[in-house]
Structure 1
Amino acid sequence: MSLETLASHDADPPRIDAPVLDVVVPVYNEEIDLEPCVRRLHAYLSAHFPYRFRITIADNASTDSTADVAKWLTEELPGVASVHLPEKGRGRALKYVWTNSDAAVLAYMDVDLSTDLGALLPLVAPLISGHSDLAIGSRLARGSRVVRGAKREFISRSYNLILRGTLSARFSDAQCGFKAIRADVAERLLPMVEDTGWFFDTELLVLAEKAGLRIHEVPVDWVDDPDSRVDIVSTAMADLKGIVRLLRALGSGRLPLGTLREQLGRNPLPVAGVPAGLTGQLLRFAAVGVASTLAYLILYAVLRTAVSPQWANLVALLVTAIANTAVNRRVTFRVRGNHGAWRHQAQGLIVFGIGLALTSGSLALLDAISTSPPKKVELAVLVLANLLATAVRFLMLRIWVFRSRRGSQTPA
């Protein structure tokens, strides 16, 4: 590992005496567990971490003697600091300390130290080297060893499945209290994170993924804390509300993820002769196209029982074309918000006209060859014509309809 490889967007060089790593321990009424936690963490870092470090105790509105314990520790142990926030919220505490820290890499861990400290150096090493932007400990990754009850295991896996289904999250464990982030990344990403509680981690990771940042996962050894005071029901409800809020924010396009991607995102590796983002767009467009074709054929077959082939084709193609443009706008070309939506639909209808000409022309040609072709032949001709129309549609959507917005999209 070399600090010289650590990516940075700051104009000013870091201070010579600044720590490389700042480990935050957020606490609320932890007067009993705080001292053994910090002493154990300090001893481990002193013996095994090869760079300058700091441990920051982030007391968010404790009402017991946690603040006094934190003060004793800062006076006795070198490299230990503490802050006291008047308001509760783990996310609020982390955001405050990370925003004001002068360390190159920022991390946090829960006060119960459920995660084995042997994973700390593997967690932060890719960030120090500049290889990754964020790092998380994962209890669900292959190689992890976890001891916890069936109830918590079920809740954790269910929550991560919900994240995959609603927010298309690809990271495996959002809730493990063992994470790190590069300071230059945090400087740009944290202002977008609104949650001040337990959903803070999830929101941070989702926004990082949407911005094209690289998230490193470390399998951990984790033993459940039987004395955990987290209210599972209220936390779950807050998480679900956070997911809904984040879905709305991403859907409205109000988050400047395109700008963040330009500043920090990792662009796809260049492939000779293949424009950037083309492969991902083709795969997404193909998936949307398959669904559109199936919907078209079903709608056509239903309408064909009541109207002529030309009218059935016209209505089925028009309905699926409007839906196809809307889905491709959002999924394939990653255009967010309502700006330009009507213009895109109007241009999409022009592209639809070309597709209509191809499919209608194929039906007319088939009718000229045979006055009453079998239904199977008619459908086969339409499928071939639709394949050609689909290829033309993709090219026109890419080079014309969504060309002006490509710079602000999120390519795969």
Structure 2
Amino acid sequence: MTAIQAGASIRPVDTSATTPVLDVVVPVHNEEDDLEACVRRLHRHLTDQFPYRFRITVADNASTDATMAIATALAAELPEVDAVHLSEKGRGRALRHAWSDSDAAVLAYMDVDLSTDLSALGPLIAPLLSGHSDVAIGSRLARGARVVRGAKREFLSRGYNLLLRGALAVRFSDAQCGFKAIRADVARELLPHVADTGWFFDTELLVIAQRAGLRIHEVPVDWVDDPDSRVDLVATTVADLKGIVRLGRGLATGAVPVRSLRAQLGRAPVGVDAPGVPAGLPKQLVRFAAIGVASTIAYLVLYALLRTGMGAQAANVLALATTAVANTAANRRLTFGVRGRAGAGRHQLEGMVVFLLGLALTSGALALLNHLTTPGRWLELGTLVLANLAATVLRFVLFRGWVFRQSRQTSQTREAQS
């Protein structure tokens, strides 16, 4: 296997090559009733709509009916159709075999029932051809998708994708739609790390692709449920849950080498190409703002509770001190990516200095307000909100430029070396 250089996936595909530009794999198991109509419809669509060389590969995995005979007959009749047979069952196994043997630049697959409208195939493939994206998926849950299916499947699909978001922190919306594509150079590097041979195969591939820093393009699809689908929902759900646990363990222990994959395949951070914008700054601002909102709400609730039994200045000091430690710890880990105990005490001490500066701002605002007027409770709270906004800006500047600067740089250096 030939390794590719970091960023190679950004180059456009050479569509003038003599080998197929696109290979669409249709994995099948005992599909003698649907196979011929599916292949002929797909072949007609690609002939009419796809301007480059293509191949359709029927990947039969352990069928016991006439599926392979039909696939062989279609391959003999249509030059762009090929048929392969595997003696073992498994959709993932069939895709791995067909994709690994293909000489096409872009690899795709779709289910034999063609539940997804083929008009989405062009938008699925285009960003891979241009180099805009590395992986593309059809999504029944993206905005703009039009889906017809029963309540049971809708519930299971949404529940599964919510579980993936919680357990594996995925950012794509639909892991299970049978309508996906990947650049072949990327597939060659990812496939050896995908262990599943069944229905969890494409979920595992997508998670590893995301962790490797690849760009995943989503296409909202028109999708109509196949009422004759023979997928065992209970068995598939159990297998998927086992797959999530296994993959999560592999990611946590380093058994899946996402760092080396990211170093080899991942796209450069946007900050590298944006002069004047420090790398990571946009994400840090978003996370800092989220933590700041939570801290401000907690501070105001505490202040309002404490204010009933003590003066404004005392309530302000206690409320700020209570939230300052949690705020520093949260920003240390989530905003600036500093982990481990090393330097934690120093960070909290320096964070306390930042807290005192924020206290001076808010206390000064309260003192000035009470000097000018006798404020009501809402005016007092409003003044504190404005003062806290100013303190928040100051806190971010000091956190980024002073408290966590050295530790953040050390963490980034270690990550780049690993």
TM interval, shorter chain, is 0.7 to 0.9
Kept after mapping to 1: 8 A contact 2:91/2:198: yes
- Aligned partner of residue 341 in structure 2, secondary structure: helix
Q: How far did 1:130 drift? A: 1.6
User: Structure 2 matches for 1:6-405, cutoff 5 A?
Assistant: 8=9, 16-251=17-252, 255-262=256-263, 263-268=265-270, 270-292=273-295, 294=297, 316=322, 320=326, 323-324=329-330, 328-329=332-333, 331-333=334-336, 341-343=340-342, 345-355=344-354, 358=357, 387=392, 388-396=394-402, 398-405=404-411
Q: CA deviation at 1:25?
A: 0.8
Q: Is the CA contact (8 Å cut-off) linking 1:110 and 1:177 kept in structure 2? A: yes
Query: Residue 361 and residue 62 in structure 1: after superposition, are their counterparts in 2 closer, same or farther (change >3 A)?
Result: same
- 1:211-254 deviation digits (Å, cap 9, x = unpaired): 33332232323222111011112222333343344444445565
Q: Distance in 1 between matches of 2:251 and 2:300?
A: 32
Deviations 1:151-201 (A, max 9, x none): 223332333344344444333322211111111222223333333222222
Identity %: 58
Q: Tell me if structure 2 keeps the 8 A contact 1:57–1:81.
A: yes
Structure 1 counterpart of 2:266, one-letter code = L
Summarize the Cα distance change of 1:295–1:313 in structure 2 as closer, same or farther, 3 Å threshold.
closer
> Aligned pair in 2 of structure 1 residues 298, 255: CA closer, same or farther (>3 Å)?
farther
**C-alpha contact 1:185 1:264 (8 A) present in aligned 2:** no
What is the alpha-carbon distance in structure 2 between the residues aligned to residue 256 and residue 152 of structure 1?
Answer: 34
| C-alpha distance in structure 2 between counterparts of 1:252 and 1:284, whole Å | 26
Contact kept? 2:10, 2:133, Cα under 8 Å: no
In the alignment, which residue of structure 2 is the partner of 1:3? none
Q: For residues 86 and 303 of structure 1, what CA distance do their matches in structure 2 show?
A: 72
Q: TM-score, normalised by structure 1?
A: 0.77
Asked whether the 8 Å contact 2:36–2:74 carries over to 1, the reply is yes
Distance in structure 1 (CA, Å) of the matches to 2:174 and 2:18: 34
Residues 380 and 248 (structure 1 numbering): CA distance in 2 closer, same or farther, change over 3 Å? Answer: farther
Which amino acid counterpart does residue 177 of structure 2 have in structure 1?
A: C
CA distance in structure 1 between the partners assigned to 2:413 and 2:402 by the alignment: 17
Residues 380, 129 of structure 1: CA spacing in aligned structure 2 closer, same or farther, 3 A cutoff?
Answer: closer
Aligned equivalents of 2:196 and 2:219: distance in 1?
25
Distance 2:399 2:253 in 1: 26
**What CA RMSD, in Å, does the superposition of the two structures yield over aligned residues?**
4.2
Q: Unaligned regions of 5+ residues in structure 1, if any?
A: 1-5
Give distance in 1, aligned partners of 2:253 and 2:315.
39
Letter in 2 for 1:288: I
**Aligned partner of 1:185: which letter?**
V
Contact 1:138–1:217 (Cα < 8 Å) also in 2: yes
Q: 1:127 touches 1:133 (CA, 8 Å); kept in 2?
A: yes
CA distance in 2, matches of 1:248, 1:301: 44
Alpha-carbon contact 2:22-2:55 (below 8 Å) kept: yes
Question: Which AA in structure 2 matches 1:277?
Answer: G
SS of the equivalent of 1:402 reads helix
The residue identity in structure 2 corresponding to 1:234 is A
1:313–1:261 distance in 2 versus 1, CA, 3 Å = same
CA contact (8 A) 2:24 2:57 kept: yes
AA aligned to 2:31 is: E
Q: Name the count of aligned residue pairs.
A: 393
Contact 2:337 2:408 in 1 (8 A): no
1:205 Cα deviation from its structure 2 partner: 2.5
Q: Give the Cα–Cα distance (whole angstroms) in 1 for the partners of residues 181 and 151 of structure 2.
A: 28
Q: 1:321 touches 1:349 (CA, 8 Å); kept in 2?
A: no
- 1:19 shift after superposition: 1.0
Q: Relative to 1, partners in 2 of residues 1:347 and 1:401: Cα closer, same or farther, differing over 3 Å?
A: farther
**Alpha carbons of structure 1 residues 75 and 286: separation in structure 2 relative to 1, 3 Å:** same
| Cα distance in structure 1, aligned partners of 2:104 and 2:9 | 12
What residue identity is the alignment partner of 1:345? Answer: A
Q: Which amino acid aligns with 2:399?
A: R
Please give the per-residue CA displacement for 1:338-388, whole angstroms capped at 9, x wherever unaligned.
xx622253553453354466578889999xx99xxx9x9899599589634
Q: Give 1:315 shift.
A: 7.8
Residues 9 and 160 from structure 1, CA distance in 2 versus in 1: closer, same or farther, beyond 3 angstroms?
closer
Partner of 2:4: none
CA distance in 2, matches of 1:254, 1:109: 30
Q: Aligned partners of 1:209 and 1:71: how far apart in 2?
A: 37
In the alignment, residue 269 of structure 2 is paired with which amino acid?
Answer: N
Conserved 8 A contact 2:105-2:184:
yes
Change (3 A) 1:260 1:310: same
| Residues 255/358 of structure 1: CA separation in 2 closer, same or farther (3 Å cut) | farther
* Aligned 8 A contact 1:333 1:409 in 2: no
Q: 1:271 to 1:226 in 2, by over 3 A?
A: same
Label 1:147 to 1:197 Cα distance change in 2 as closer, same or farther (>3 A). Answer: same
Matches of 1:191 and 1:219 in 2, distance apart?
A: 29
CA contact (8 A) 1:109 1:177 kept: yes
Judged with a 3 Å threshold, the aligned counterparts in structure 2 of structure 1 residues 288 and 318 are, in CA distance, closer, same or farther, namely closer
Distance 1:108 1:344 in 2: 50
Following superposition, the deviation at residue 63 of structure 1 comes to 3.3
Contact 1:295 1:320 in 2 (8 A): no
d(CA) in 1 for partners of 2:300, 2:214: 40
Structure 2 unaligned spans of 5+: 1-6
